[in-house]
Structures are given as structure tokens and as C-alpha cells.
Amino acid sequence: MPEMQTYRGGCHCGRVRYQVAATLDPVLSCNCSICQKRGYLLTFVPRAQFKLLSGEDALTDYQFNKKVVHHLFCANCGISSFGTGTGPDQSEMVSINVRCLDDVDLDALTVTSFDGKSL
């Protein structure tokens, strides 16, 4: 098992900042309608492992389809650095856009394709 590490991340302009404990192996590349357009690389963590440090007032919510996931983005710079939703067992989960984490070598990650389009 890869070790869990604490990362910091956020949007482009810096208003939205967060801290998250996560393992980045693997990360998911999803082909659903929004992931494909936004180019996310995703990992998912329980809500308790995520802490929003700043930018709550800048977060704008976008929802579509079944409206179970909050596709949050910064109202100032438009970057979607994380989202929130519930897992299959109704627990609160946070989706992290790994591209928005500080100091992560994206080329070193194992990316797994996820067929979100078929869900």
C-alpha cells in the first residue's frame, strides 16, 4: 500500500486553498461528460481527511444530472480543485483534482481509466 501523505492544493488565483490526506496511487482519469471537459485527474477521500483552509466564499457550485455531486469551482479564476458528494454507503466524500495539488509530479503517477460515462 502506498503511504498516505498530507498535501496542500487549491485553485489558480489562490483564494481556494485546502489540505488533504490522500494516497495518490492510483489516480483516476474519468471519461464522463464533465471530467472529460475539465481534464480532471481524481482521487477520492473521506470528508474527515479534507480541510478547507480558505476560499469558502469564492466557491461556486455546479450540479447536473442526478445532482449528487457538487462540482465546486472558484468564482474568480474558474478552477475546479475539488468537489463534494456522497459515496455508495452515503458517507461524505471529497473528490480531489490531483492536478491542483502543490508539488505533485503528475508524470510519476499511475493513472487508471474510469468509465464514468457508462454509470
Minimum CB–partner distance for residue 82 and Zn ion (Å): 12
Distances (CA, A) of 105 to 54, 98, 101: 24, 10, 10
Q: How far is the CB of 87 from Zn ion (least distance, A)?
A: 27
Nearer to Zn ion, 77 or 109 (CB): 77
Q: Measured between alpha carbons, how far is 93 from 36 in angstroms, rounded to an integer?
A: 21
Distances in Å between the Cα of 83 and the Cα atoms of 3, 98, 107 are 23, 12, 23
CB of 40 to Zn ion, least distance (A): 16
User: Nearer to Zn ion by C-beta: 13 or 34?
Assistant: 13
Nearest distance, CB of residue 73 and Zn ion, angstroms: 8
Q: Which is nearer to Zn ion, 13 or 111 (CB)?
A: 13
Q: Report the interface residues with Zn ion, using CB under 5 A.
A: 11, 13, 15, 74, 76-77
Q: Which residues, at least 6 apart from 9, have a Cβ–Cβ distance to it below 8 Å?
A: 17, 18, 20, 81, 82, 96, 97, 100, 101, 102
Cβ proximity to Zn ion: between 11 and 20 the closer is: 11
